[in-house]
A and B are shown apart, each in its own frame.
Chain A
Amino acid sequence: MNNPLFVITNIHELVGIIFIILGVGFDILGCLGLLRLPDVYNRLQATTKCVTLGTCSILLGTFIIKGFGATGFKAILTMVFLLLTTPVAAHALARGAHKSGVKLCDKSVCDKYKDDQDALS
């Protein structure tokens, strides 16, 4: 393996592979955030942003490599589904976590939601 680019012959394959490498890098950073950050809400922030856009970048790379075929259009469709569904799932999980009584971490500044819930009940 002297020349690692030996199979890539076209420019669009090179661009697609660059997109895929960027996406995998963002995925790794998102999973590191899942491990490092202190409480559930911060972890949700990291994973929702980084992992969603990383996976969308991988799918965009697939679309660029494969072109306007069966695979390419399915990749675009999967991208739209992901961008529409992931924030809704994150919103539901954050709400469920707050309702089930998970506290915010020690560093946090204010919790207006808990104040309003206490004022209601």
Chain B
Amino acid sequence: MKKESTWKVRYFLGLIFLLVVLSSIIFFDIPSLISWQSPFLARCFFMLMFCFFLCLLRIFRGPTPADRAVAIDTLGILIVGFCAILSIPTGRDWYLDIAIAWALQSFIGALALAKYLEGRGFDE
């Protein structure tokens, strides 16, 4: 938000970037090692990877430590969805065990980061 006049150009450029990436995910058949049950699942998987990329961009750019903490928390929730999608074509139920453990660990990690932001010790 540096200049008021540039927001239209920035919105347009971002829209073009999003459309190019999403359509390349949708219309090209990206090779992978897993035999997917349905082509929709493969597309959803790679779109979640694109979400990870957006979160990493916020971690890279974030002006304050709080922004980075928020992005890390979001990344933790997205990984749960990632494990849930992986458990469908492979048929292994222990992917969801990983998802439960990851959800709890990410919750505790977010609490620890919040304590750190408040500037208090971990034992209070």
Contact = CB atoms under 8 A, between A and B. Distances in A.
Whether chain A touches chain B in the assembled complex (some CB pair under 8 Å): yes
B17 to A, nearest CB: 11
A88 B73 CA distance: 12
Contacts of B50: 28
A31 B1 CA distance: 19
Interface of B: 1, 18, 29, 37-41, 44, 47-48, 50-51, 54-55, 57-58, 64-67, 69-71, 73-74, 77-78, 80-81, 84-85, 87-88, 93, 96-97, 99-100, 103-104, 106-107, 110-111, 113-119
Interface residues of A, number: 54
Contact of B38 (A8, A44, A90): A8
SS of B interface (majority): helix
B84 A31 contact: no
B96 to A, nearest CB: 4
Contact of B103 (A24, A66, A85): A85
A32 B57 CA distance: 11
A75 B81 contact: no
Nearest to B92: A71
Lowest 3 A-B CB distances belong to which pairs? A96-B117, A96-B114, A97-B66
A28 B64 contact: no
SS of A interface (majority): helix
Contacts of A95: 114, 118
B15 to A, nearest CB: 11
A90 to B, nearest CB: 8
B66 A102 contact: yes
Contact of A34 (B66, B70, B104): B70
